[in-house]
Amino acid sequence: EPEVTQTPSHQVTQMGQEVILRCVPISNHLYFYWYRQILGQKVEFLVSFYNNEISEKSEIFDDQFSVERPDGSNFTLKIRSTKLEDSAMYFCASAYRGNTEAFFGQGTRLTVV
Amino acid sequence: GQQVMQIPQYQHVQEGEDFTTYCNSSTTLSNIQWYKQRPGGHPVFLIQLVKSGEVKKQKRLTFQFGEAKKNSSLHITATQTTDVGTYFCVENTGTASKLTFGTGTRLQVTL
């Protein structure tokens, strides 16, 4: 069964460093999303991406964040100058159409120290 | 911003008991999806409801969409330990570019 894959599964970074979280969505999907979940809390929307551009972003997704689909298969989330409060589980998801089920990856646990 | 509230936040049941979680929005929803997240896992799609008053069943799970499309519920009959996890209702906006997760209900089932 096709699945969304995310790498790495866990990343520890120093405060102020840049991190890149990687995702490989399901190959024929057109909509891509990044979410984050602070331990045990709500799943928060960050950004959606369609047709090679950002469709929508939340207030969390400020200039510190950026997304890219560099090569037609990978979908990356870059966090510049990480802060302690960026520590969370980051989930990538993809969907064939916007109104259909979204498939989530296993997540990347980011720990900022 | 848009917030989809779920109640209860947490429920602990004995195996075999029923469980219901409710999802409420302040606005009319275009459609609603339900996801389950096992402890330490990722959200997994369960179902999508689109029509006013729609009821769908998956084995022991019954999903309902309110007539006014402002609320939804998930009912599990005769819970099992495999039902443990957090259940999220998720609004898919009309633009189809954003999934707004509800606050979630964490279900614990013990023998």
Mean pLDDT, rounded, for A54-75: 92
Q: How do residues A1-22 score in pLDDT, each as one tens digit? A: 889 999 999 999 999 999 999 9
- Lateral strand order in the sheet of B4-7: B4-7, B19-25, B71-76, B61-65, B55-58
How far is A21 from A38, CA to CA, in rounded Å?
16
What CATH number has the domain bearing residue A76?
2.60.40.10
The rounded percent of chain B whose pLDDT value lies above 90 is 81
Report the top-level CATH class of B22-99: mainly beta
Residue A81 has pLDDT above 60, yes or no: yes
Residues near A97 by beta carbon (within 8 Å), at least 6 away in sequence: A30, A31, B96
Asked whether residue A107 is assigned to any structural domain, the reply reads: no
Residue A38 pLDDT: 94
How far is B38 from A67, CA to CA, in rounded Å?
27
* A99 vs B contacts (CB less than 8 Å): 31, 48, 92, 96
Contact yes or no for A112/A83 (Cβ under 8 A): yes
Q: Give residues 18 to 77 of A whose Cβ lies within 8 Å of B.
A: 31, 33, 35, 42-45, 48, 50, 55-56, 58-59
- Sign of the alpha-carbon dihedral angle for A21, A76, B1, B104: negative
Query: pLDDT category, B26, cuts 50, 70, 90?
Result: confident
Going from N- to C-terminal start, the domains of chain B cover 22-99
Q: How do residues B48-76 score in pLDDT, each as one tens digit? A: 999 999 999 999 999 999 999 999 999 99
Query: What range does the domain containing A73 cover?
Result: 5-99
